[in-house]
Amino acid sequence: MVTGFLYDERFLDHDAGARHPERRERLTSSMAHLRAQAWFEELHMLAPRTADESWIESVHSSDLITRARSACEQELPYLDVMDVGVSRDSFDVALLAVGGAQTLADKVVTGEVDNAFALCRPPGHHAEHNQALGFCLFNNVAIAARYLQKQHGLDKILILDWDVHHGNGTQHAFEADPAVHYTSLHQWPLYPGTGRADERGIEAGRGATLNCLMAPGQGDDDYRRVIEEQVLPELDRFAPQVMLISAGFDAHQADPLSATRVTETGYLEMTRLVTALAAQHAGGRVLSLLEGGYDLDALAASVQIHVESLLDAPAG
């Protein structure tokens, strides 16, 4: 397998504020750990581009884009809500994160790489149509899915979100769209309070949303069981053409923002299970984007095992 890896030091220029958990060290510590791995040189290095704002508007309102640009130009401390800290460069970095997701989409669909991971920030899955939320300015994975639909003509797209927090913005973007299946495993109850098990999509998209609620204290065996018993059978029926992963690693037992007990072994098993599904239905095509993960050592180790698993994934 050829695994793409996308990173850019400009992702470090987003400053969410002093003592904010979404800090630049999340990437610098992960990169230091990855570079120490013997297999790191096997990765196919990818560079992000800055997304055109028209693609941001495929998911978000023009008003949100205007507010985001203005907040950063004025060097305001936050955008919309206090947990979305911003700085002068945050708008440009957010466009770069979206463009990085689009770069992965192009490289995977055209076959330059078989699968790919983006070590990027700011994260995106909480961002709503007209509101920045939960550390997120723009919804990277949702815009990538729209890009795959509109630019590459795909009509069966899977978004698997295993961040410990429910991806409210992603679910709401596609809850009426039967062509995009959104599946989430998240701690319940926990921020942002969305993602109940009975939220299954609306209108034409009814049945294309699956929320799997994980209780505090649940760990590797519980996640594996839920994926095997609930997630894989449904996604096997959906038969996606491509898989996107909102790869948050804050379900880790060391993470300060959650109470679940996943370890690196759990992320290894989850990656192996879903890449096997991708090999069966999607030619092995997987695009993985970093979301949460706030203990630096746990994040670095989890990213390592995830990327290594992508390198070892079965071919489609």
Which of these is catalytic: 126, 165, 166, 281?
126
Q: Is 126 a catalytic residue?
A: yes
Question: In this structure, are residues 186 and 165 in contact, taking their beta carbons and an 8 Å threshold?
Answer: yes
* Cβ atoms 246, 160 nearer than 8 A: yes
Return the residue matching tokens 């470090």. 12
Cis amide prior to 256 (ω within 30 degrees): no
Give Cβ neighbours of residue 189 (< 8 Å, ≥ 6 apart): none
Which residues on neighbouring strands pair with residue 288, listed in sequence order? Answer: 117, 245
Q: Identify which of 252, 248, 251, 210 has the alpha carbon closest to the alpha carbon of residue 229.
A: 210
> Among 251, 242, 247, 238, which Cα is nearest to 210's?
238
Q: Which residues of 189-221 are buried (b: 16+ CB within 10 A; e: fewer)?
A: ebbeebbeeebebeeebeebbbbbbbeeebbbe
- Residue 175, SS3? coil
Quote the tokens at residue 182.
Answer: 């959104």
Count of CB atoms situated within 10 Å of the CB of 310: 25
Q: Which among 202, 282, 201 has a CA at the least distance from the CA of 240? A: 282
Which positions are annotated as active-site residues? 126
